Structure 1
Amino acid sequence: MRADFRQACAERSLGEVLRLAKRWGGVGFTASHLARRCELTVSRVQDYINGRVQAQRVEIFERVADGLHIPGEMFDLAPRSWETRSGHVRPVADASHSQVPSEDGDPSVLRRDFMKLGAGLAATSMVAQLPGMPSRVAGNRVGASTVDELRARFGRLRLLDDHLGGADTYGYYLAEVEKTAGLLKDGSFASGPARREMLSFFAEQAQQAGWAAFDAGWHDKAKDLYERSFNAAKEADDAALAANALALRSYQLLPSTDVAVDLTDKSCAIAAKSAHPGVKSLLYQRGAWTYAVAGQADKAAWALGEAEHALTASPSDGFGPEWALWAHNPTELQIITGRCWTELHRPLRAVPALEAAMAQYDDSHARDKALYLSWLAEAYLDAGEVEHSATAVSRALDLSANVASARPQQRLSVVVGRLEPHQSVPEVADLLAQRPLDPFQVGS
């Protein structure tokens, strides 16, 4: 763990503790997020961070310790109840032994180091038996509360995908998939609905693990997980999750477009029947991409239009499940719009969308931003803006240098290949002189 965080805890400098958590915890660690977790108001969190108020009461430190899962000893408190329930929880400071020091203190690298540490701590706490969760022994009963608890905990682990590559997260996600598979095999369910809920949850987990495998370049593993997810979703009668499994599998099959488009057609047909705008947004956006890669401009434009319509829809039964909501916002729609029109070689449509999205997309999402910059670089090339393209590639290479994902380097190699005929342009010459083209291999 960072030495300054340990010191802030030891000195009970709550403002510094919250400031460091906000800075290095990633985009999700906003003042609002910290306030919610620590049972404080947003204004009070900001007061602590800005030094306007100094925390004195023990109960405040107890709330923060519980909300951020900081072991009690770091605040000179008694062990917290969640520490004793889950057996031995390794103090945050002890985790430093397994961390590689960040090079040059680069903020994006330090933030990813912080997130990797968080992944280890999350996995440690999740491996321990959960309160109220039966052991994997035949005869134990599993109810709706068990599924809710597991889903809430996995939701926190899922956030790591925003900041780390699939080679870093795959092991964590797969371990949770197999634990849930064990419960489905050995547990005794309180009701039919409880088992269906667990099947749906398993389908979510398998998709997340499959996505991590895909991101790492391990396609056989991804295929297996997507198929397991689809079968579980069908058994649970969860059409939305089944459709998402089809959409994810279609990504893998590209550029074998006939099969991929067939799966996407089925996914979009399910999206049309969904009552949840968030589900529509995600499935139509993924459909648009498949159609664009297949060169079907009209169908891509149609899917993008349906996704845009979903953003303005008034839901009758909520916006949708948590696994789908990440795509239900204007920025994600701008990104997929720009990517689609880049793939279809329409730079006048692609560049404005991607430029607008990248202007507000945080560097802590290093893998994804590097990928999206690769499409912006291609769109610039199609528009004849070679200098801008080379600059975008250089920025993307910097972002992706420390991410355990195969996809950014694969994409950027393609773009640099297109830049090579323009070596007379100084920006391109500088880029090629750095020799960034060695294939980035992620071991299985």
Structure 2
Amino acid sequence: MGRQQQDPRHVVAGLLSDERFTAACAERDMGALFRLLNHRGISTRRIAAAVDITQGRLYDYMNGKSRVEKLVIFEQIADAFHIPGRLLGLAVRPWEPAPAGHVPPPRSAPQLPPNDDDLSAMDAFRNADRQTGGGRLYGAVVRHLGHNIAPRLVDADSSQQIFATAAAMTEMAGWMAHDSGRDDLAARHFNRALPLARTSGDVSLAANIAASNSHLALQTGDPAAAAHWARAGLDLTAQGPRIPALTARLHTMTARALAATTPTPAARALDQAHEILDTSAEAQHPWLSPFDSAALASESALVLGDMKRYDEALHHAERAIALRRSGSRARSLALSRITLARIHLQRQDLDAAVSIGHELLAADPTLGSVRVIHQLDGLRARLEPHRSYPPVRELLTRFEEARRARMLLLADIIQPPNKGTAP
């Protein structure tokens, strides 16, 4: 059979592990993707017919004269060539096989009020986590799930609300595992939480868990998956009650996923998040952790930093710190200061970065967050090339001393390499 007669879907199947192909998908560079298909023997006529565009338009894409922007065309490309939706930041396509344990998306169902004891437990865990970090709380949350929540899931008289309770607590366990530096365990908790939320019929909770999956994908270096989860979450929000903070969070996660590769759509998503959060009255949901102005400022600084708009990033980072300074969010404050120090370094302002670094090291060393330790390590690595500058050298010496102290204080929650994780 001639090369021109190959099935494009078979060609794509052979390209799924090709770095050029996956990079083109992650960057949504359809011109590069079409060139790869053409080089593998798929004619331009066949490509254009499969995607339902003219050959002239196809040549514009392939020659870099224009880019695909419309969602419907991305969907046509994914479906024509059987490109998994996650690679293009789309929802799972109808032809993709359902994963094991898949539960169809829920229809929104009337929600019964949560049990007061469950809400009190959630609030207690949430407040302690914000102040002290999730490392030492993880075991307590897992025990609470096993002893107080799981038995009620199989009770014949249980309502859908207990599934929402289980989903929210399981998601919280995932965040605490993430804060302990155990991202594989966090992913397992999030993957368990989503079908529980779907079973409960609480689409807002399911969308919130999708946002958590998006965050975790970013932290583990998979922006395409992060964009997919953010889009899935936004699709879910359309099925449930309007909760502006949740929608703003999902638009923010979209912006973060796209910032490094496609800045224009990222900027639009971030603008949407600000517009929604700034102009909408807050709607309450018992299981959703608030996404407030300080959180949006912190995320905006990260997005704008990735887009190399450092002056704007600086403004948002300073705002995040100002909003968190008077509260009880010790971890959020530390992470915001790390972001601010990084932005000062990107702006080549060493003295400002050193000043923020000293503030960081003066914070409570018992904060049980391995995530903060890892980000401090990253900041230290960024400072290292400037060691010849005496103030930086002095700060790096303090970093070493502080890290040793923190590692000793947190030895009970830091996992040794290659050690198995809890179930």
Cα deviation, 1:202-235, whole Å, max 9, x if unaligned, reads: 1111111110111001223212211111010111
2:264 is matched with which residue: 292, 295, 298?
A: 298
C-alpha separation between the residues in 1 aligned to 2:205 and 2:113? 21
1:296 deviates by 3.2
Paired AA for residue 276 in structure 2? A
1:154 deviates by 2.3
C-alpha separation between the residues in 2 aligned to 1:145 and 1:377? 43
State the match for 2:276 in structure 1: 310
1:145 deviates by 7.0
Q: How does 1:168-179 map to 2 (within 5 A)?
A: 168-178=136-146, 179=148
**1:370 and 1:400 in contact (8 A); partners too:** no
2:381 is matched with which residue: 403, 407, 417?
A: 417
**Change in 2 beyond 3 A, CA 1:431/1:209:** same
**Change in 2 beyond 3 A, CA 1:359/1:165:** same
Paired AA for residue 174 in structure 1? V
SS, match of residue 384 in structure 1: coil
Residues 1:231 and 2:198 are matched in the alignment: no
1:160 is matched with which residue: 128, 133, 141?
A: 128
Cα deviation, 1:229-278, whole Å, max 9, x if unaligned, reads: 10101111222221222221232223122222222221233345551213
Residues 1:284 and 2:255 are matched in the alignment: no
Cα deviation, 1:362-400, whole Å, max 9, x if unaligned, reads: 374222211111111111111111111122122223325
C-alpha separation between the residues in 2 aligned to 1:435 and 1:357? 23
State the match for 2:370 in structure 1: 406
**2:227 and 2:257 in contact (8 A); partners too:** yes
Cα deviation, 1:91-149, whole Å, max 9, x if unaligned, reads: xxxxxxxxxxxxxxxxxxxxxxxxxxxxxxxxxxxxxxxxxxxxxxxxxxxx9677243
State the match for 1:426 in structure 2: 390
C-alpha separation between the residues in 1 aligned to 2:114 and 2:288? 22
1:349 deviates by 0.9
**Change in 2 beyond 3 A, CA 1:421/1:153:** closer
Residues 1:350 and 2:350 are matched in the alignment: no
C-alpha separation between the residues in 2 aligned to 1:443 and 1:423? 28
Larger relative CO (CA 8 A, sep 6+): 1 or 2?
A: 2
Paired AA for residue 369 in structure 1? L
1:161 deviates by 1.6
Gaps of 5+ in 1: 1-142
1:250 is matched with which residue: 206, 214, 235?
A: 214
Residues 1:200 and 2:167 are matched in the alignment: no
SS, match of residue 322 in structure 1: coil
C-alpha separation between the residues in 2 aligned to 1:371 and 1:335? 9
Residues 1:180 and 2:144 are matched in the alignment: no
State the match for 2:341 in structure 1: 377
C-alpha separation between the residues in 2 aligned to 1:145 and 1:435? 48
- Percent identical among aligned pairs is 24
State the match for 1:66 in structure 2: none
**Change in 2 beyond 3 A, CA 1:320/1:356:** same
State the match for 1:443 in structure 2: 414
State the match for 1:360 in structure 2: 323
1:266 is matched with which residue: 232, 238, 241?
A: 232
SS, match of residue 166 in structure 1: coil
SS, match of residue 318 in structure 2: helix
C-alpha separation between the residues in 1 aligned to 2:213 and 2:227? 11
State the match for 2:350 in structure 1: 386
**Change in 2 beyond 3 A, CA 1:147/1:322:** closer
Gaps of 5+ in 2: 1-110, 416-423
SS, match of residue 399 in structure 1: coil
State the match for 2:179 in structure 1: 215
SS, match of residue 424 in structure 1: coil
**Change in 2 beyond 3 A, CA 1:325/1:208:** closer
C-alpha separation between the residues in 2 aligned to 1:435 and 1:312? 38
**1:276 and 1:319 in contact (8 A); partners too:** yes
C-alpha separation between the residues in 1 aligned to 2:394 and 2:153? 56
1:351 deviates by 0.4
**Change in 2 beyond 3 A, CA 1:272/1:431:** farther
C-alpha separation between the residues in 2 aligned to 1:320 and 1:299? 29
1:319 deviates by 0.5
